[in-house]
Structure 1
Amino acid sequence: MATPEFPQSLGGSRGCWTLHGRRSRGYRGRVSIYHALESSPLLTVFLVVAAGTALGAVRFGPLRFGAAGALFTGLVLGALDPALGKGLALLQTLGLALFVYTVGLAAGSTFVRDLRRQYPLMLVGIGTLIAATAAAGLAGIALGVDGPMIAGAFTGAQTSTPALAAASEAAGSSEPAVAYSLAYPIGVIVSILAVAAVAGRAWPARHDQGGNSAEGLDAASVLVSKETSLCEVPGYADQRVRLSYLERNDEVRVVRPDEVLRQGDRVLVVGQRADMEVAANYLGAGLDQHLAHDRTYVDFRRIVVSNRAVVGHTISELDMPGRFGGVITRVRRGDVDLLGRDDLTLEYGDRVLAVVPRPRLRAVRAFLGDSERKISEVDALTMGIGMALGLAAGLIKIPLPGGGTFGLGAAAGPLVVGMVLGALERTGPAVWGMPRAANLTVRQLGLLFFLATVGLSSGDDFAAAAWSATGLKVGVIAIAVTAVTAAAFLGGGRLLGLSAARTCGAFAGVVGQPAILDFANSRVTDDRIESGYAALFALGIIVKLVLVQVLVGL
């Protein structure tokens, strides 16, 4: 009996058939799985997201891929069956736009504030990225690699997903994604080795104020030994300490902003430990009794900010002393406790520590919102407007000398618009910000969709290049880019007189890699690491979005 032919397009061969003319059970199952995945692209994407997340959680020494696990999982599956990557362009663009827009919203206000305080470090970051771009271009040209692959190697070494999207859009091919996936592990590993060599070093930091994150915020009850106004208390005028409770003549109330403290008063001082101790020593002697333990007349409560009318306003604009006779001493934002400075702008989901007369506590809760449900919701109106503006901005093309054009695209358009709206915080009744938990959720989902679809659509090209001479050349470019970035930036931070902690955090920000940030935090406990990262993260994305388009044209 003749053995029936099996279509070669499905990968069949006579070896897949038994001697009795029947297909093997394993092959039949493999064909049915591929058919199911091809017929349901969303099923494929979510399987890649799930498997990629599991892979990203695995630690390889100090290295963990995180969300990039979805990229590598997609590459493997796409290499096994290139048809699985078809028809995913819309989901890829949507995922990218959601990711960069939410990053922009979160980074907008921080970027504007840090622009004034840390501009020398930002200039070093810009110069470093220009040097790294030059290194990528020179190495690529010397090795005979074309522009799209050079751009992909640059974005992979810099672990920059938005820059990868910009490179892919400019190149109109999967080459940047292939080079990105080859260069990504190299960029992370070399960067971590550079941080390991620098973190914890006690080099001169003449222009860097010491960090106090290990100490956090603290409070102390103090017996006042002399009459003094609040503005004379060290740290009060420049908002480094706050005072809340005041006990005078057996009466407990909240300290007023224009208070004149008298000898024998008992007050509660709040601030970072070093600042709090300076203020307490100036006022008098410490007390064993903690004033906040007596909640008979004055009470305190952590209250969730969920009222739209409050979000986007500074603490001073809320006028807590005038409205309720109270004060906000702390603001819990994410995992960080911030001192309740007058100029601190409240965001959705902040948990403020309000100290108020006990009868006014319910009114304060109603004023601030105190709703867990509301901070888990996304304002579809403002998000829709912001995303539409960002995507529209990406469509604008600016003519360049020589006949070319420059555009922000779907990668940079939503990012820039998100940063502008994040800096504005609110426009009349419209609050542009997003609850932190919701922002992180949307951001993570968008990033996973983007990386999964990129991997699926690039898997075939990746398999062809991974073990070829081109793959080796991409690795060399990635090493050159990362080495130049590390040497230029870490050396520049030291020349500026910044601490090793801030320099390492800023280096992680300019590379844009949370794994490097986590590694730096595991070596040193210092708030300057997070501060440096925040100052350079958004700036690094913007600069790389521009520079990568230069590389594509090589």
Structure 2
Amino acid sequence: MSDIALTVSVLALVAVVGLWIGNIKVRGVGFGIGGVLFGGIIVGHFVDQAGVTLSGDMLHFIQEFGLILFVYTIGIQVGPGFFASLRVSGLRLNLFAVLIVIMGGLVTAILHKIFAIPLPVVLGIFSGAVTNTPALGAGQQILRDLGTPVDLVDQMGMSYAMAYPFGICGILLTMWLMRLIFRVNVEAEAQKHESSLANGHSLIQTMNIRVENPNLNNMAIQDVPILNSDKIICSRLKRDDTLMVPSPGTIIQAGDLLHLVGQPTDLHNAQLVIGKEVDTSLSTRGTDLRVERVVVTNEKVLGKRIRDLHFKERYDVVISRLNRAGVELVASSDASLQFGDILNLVGRPASIDAVANVVGNAQQKLQQVQMLPVFIGIGLGVLLGSIPLFVPGFPVALKLGLAGGPLIMALILGRIGSIGKLYWFMPPSANLALRELGIVLFLAVVGLKSGGDFVDTLTQGEGLSWIGYGIFITAIPLITVGLLARIFAKMNYLTLCGMLAGSMTDPPALAFANNLHATSGAAALSYATVYPLVMFLRIITPQLLALLLCLFAGGLAIYGYLRWLRNEKAMRLKEDLPYTHSLLIISVILMIVAVIVMGLVLYAG
């Protein structure tokens, strides 16, 4: 059997064993895709015992390509919502999640200093303790850039596997501990969450208002400032028994009923200006109007602003709202259309059909994948990750690497949506397939490389101590931030659980949080809010962790470690000063950032 055939066969065996392990669940919680890592360790152990040699170059290529596929598809998936999650509505949740990431790095740095844990090992423990596989890939990438020997880089995968199991269990235990400490009534928390949604925090809602302000009588809608802004959409107007689709030039009269769409605070302001909220239905049933959702699939309208398409003037149709990547938005006139956008239209049937033809509304296109943008995005991401960032006094240039570069590029392209006829929308099924394929390939290779020495490390080496270090990295940030969020910010328990799961980008933990209450979507909402930013931070953290270690080592520990890797003699302190000063400056900056984040968290609470 050729080397290629042998390597592919072994990888297939690893995937089968690992996915089977991942499907084993105890009380609804399992390793999921992480089981592939343990499948690789098991197969790798027996492959090593049998003396079988696999192609190192091929394994390295498969590992890196799998990582690129994984992080790129994640970026495309979360890109449209990434920047939206940084808005004020999600500020508090994101600040707490960022604090968990920062504290995890600080705990790792302290353990590294106190117990003199080798850098590859501590980065692996950190990645496993936070259950983030892309962090493992990013850490291995920077270690190779630093010139770390291959055998030490492989230790990172082994320490990752040691810390991973408690990383999953630790999140669940933290949720249980928060519930025990604060004696949480889950049903009451769910009701509070629903009440907060009803009060309209950052959700698109509707309101029917009767015009009672005499100053607005016989005024055109476009002359009423609150109605002429992009914050409010007036999608229907009812006068007597006639329901119509209003245009900017429509004259409103006292007693008219307006159906408005917008943010709760904006709707409240409109109600204060216009008149009184009423319960009267403005349903299109029994009228010549209808409401329909259509999807944007026509390349000719991609990137065009809603106002430039003149739907109201040409077709007498109003776009009442826009759904992009699962996020409901007010259809402001300045909004540019992206492939896959879902438009909520109000108008007459023939007019809606005409608009649907303009925007495409071809459902079959949503299942097609444009492969050209995929490879353009991956290529640009690899180039971005290869750009060196020179820090004065630092021995090597920092890079985003094959994990950070494709991720950031995918976030940007996902946010842009389209350039000309190229669009970066990817059907969810295709995105999931490529993402799962990538992570399976990556974990399979990591497991195979770690399997040979795994058993000896666990039984005769430092495996148990690595597990202990991982427990600290998992538990301390989660428990600390959980207490802060509950005590100072009075955060809803279900929202807190979703935020904790999102801060670890851990789907099994989200499943556990969702099962706390059968109908509440609080956990899923907070998880989705913090996930994009946290995933980005988790991937770049291993590259920045070397700088964070300077908070405790004063720059000399990393310098000495790198010198040791190169088997060079220690330099005199006089020669070390420029390097040390540079790292100390970076350390001070990072410390200030941590303090600012803590202050913002408490202020936002």
What TM-score range do you get, normalising by the shorter chain? 0.7 to 0.9
- After superposition, residues 321-400 of structure 1 pair within 5 angstroms as 321-332=312-323, 340=331, 346-400=337-391
Aligned to 1:481: 473
Say which of 167, 191, 198 aligns to 2:171. Answer: 191
Counting matched residue pairs gives: 513
What is the CA–CA distance in structure 2 between the aligned matches of 1:232 and 1:62, rounded to whole Å?
57
Q: Does structure 1 residue 164 correspond to structure 2 residue 136?
A: yes
Q: Give the RMSD, CA atoms, in angstroms.
A: 4.1
Aligned to 1:18: none
- TM-score w.r.t. the length of structure 1 is 0.78
What is the CA–CA distance in structure 2 between the aligned matches of 1:335 and 1:422, rounded to whole Å?
14
Tell whether the 8 Å contact from 2:93 to 2:530 is kept in structure 1 after alignment: no
Aligned to 2:505: 512
Change (3 A) 1:365 1:37: farther
Say which of 35, 38, 41 aligns to 1:69. Answer: 35
1:487 shift after superposition: 3.2
Mark the runs of 5 or more structure 2 residues left unpaired by the alignment.
190-194, 550-556, 562-605
Change (3 A) 1:403 1:280: closer
1:164 shift after superposition: 0.2
Change (3 A) 1:462 1:334: farther
- After superposition, residues 135-154 of structure 1 pair within 5 angstroms as 135-143=107-115, 145-154=117-126
What is the CA–CA distance in structure 2 between the aligned matches of 1:512 and 1:77, rounded to whole Å?
27
Change (3 A) 1:352 1:402: closer
Aligned to 2:458: 466
What is the CA–CA distance in structure 2 between the aligned matches of 1:43 and 1:234, rounded to whole Å?
68
Aligned to 2:76: 105
Change (3 A) 1:468 1:376: farther
Tell whether the 8 Å contact from 2:140 to 2:156 is kept in structure 1 after alignment: yes
What is the CA–CA distance in structure 1 between the aligned matches of 2:243 and 2:96, rounded to whole Å?
52
1:65 shift after superposition: 2.0
Tell whether the 8 Å contact from 1:72 to 1:181 is kept in structure 2 after alignment: yes
Give the % identical residues: 27
Aligned to 1:525: 521
What is the CA–CA distance in structure 1 between the aligned matches of 2:241 and 2:401, rounded to whole Å?
66
**C-alpha offsets along residues 64-100 of structure 1, whole Å, 9 cap, x if unaligned?**
3222122222222222224486432222211111111
Say which of 70, 78, 92 aligns to 2:63. Answer: 92
Aligned to 2:566: none
**C-alpha offsets along residues 228-268 of structure 1, whole Å, 9 cap, x if unaligned?**
57699999678776443334355443132454543454554
What is the CA–CA distance in structure 1 between the aligned matches of 2:384 and 2:423, rounded to whole Å?
20
- TM-score w.r.t. the length of structure 2 is 0.72
Change (3 A) 1:313 1:61: farther
Aligned to 1:442: 434
Say which of 438, 441, 445 aligns to 1:453. Answer: 445
- After superposition, residues 238-253 of structure 1 pair within 5 angstroms as 242-248=233-239, 250-253=241-244
Change (3 A) 1:291 1:476: same
* Matched residue SS, 2:347: strand
Change (3 A) 1:543 1:122: farther
**C-alpha offsets along residues 287-328 of structure 1, whole Å, 9 cap, x if unaligned?**
3x66222353x2332212222344455655654323432122
What is the CA–CA distance in structure 1 between the aligned matches of 2:332 and 2:429, rounded to whole Å?
23
- After superposition, residues 20-99 of structure 1 pair within 5 angstroms as 39-61=5-27, 63-82=29-48, 83=52, 86=55, 87-99=58-70
Mark the runs of 5 or more structure 1 residues left unpaired by the alignment.
1-34, 204-208
* Matched residue SS, 1:303: strand
What is the CA–CA distance in structure 2 between the aligned matches of 1:379 and 1:397, rounded to whole Å?
31
1:472 shift after superposition: 0.6
Tell whether the 8 Å contact from 1:234 to 1:279 is kept in structure 2 after alignment: no
**C-alpha offsets along residues 188-239 of structure 1, whole Å, 9 cap, x if unaligned?**
1111222334476899xxxxx9445999877677776776576999996787
1:449 shift after superposition: 2.3
What is the CA–CA distance in structure 1 between the aligned matches of 2:213 and 2:335, rounded to whole Å?
31
- After superposition, residues 196-345 of structure 1 pair within 5 angstroms as 196-198=176-178, 210-211=196-197, 242-248=233-239, 250-257=241-248, 259-268=250-259, 283=276, 285-287=278-280, 291-294=283-286, 296=288, 298-312=289-303, 315=306, 318-332=309-323, 340=331
Change (3 A) 1:535 1:443: closer
Change (3 A) 1:213 1:147: farther
* Matched residue SS, 1:67: helix
* Matched residue SS, 1:397: coil
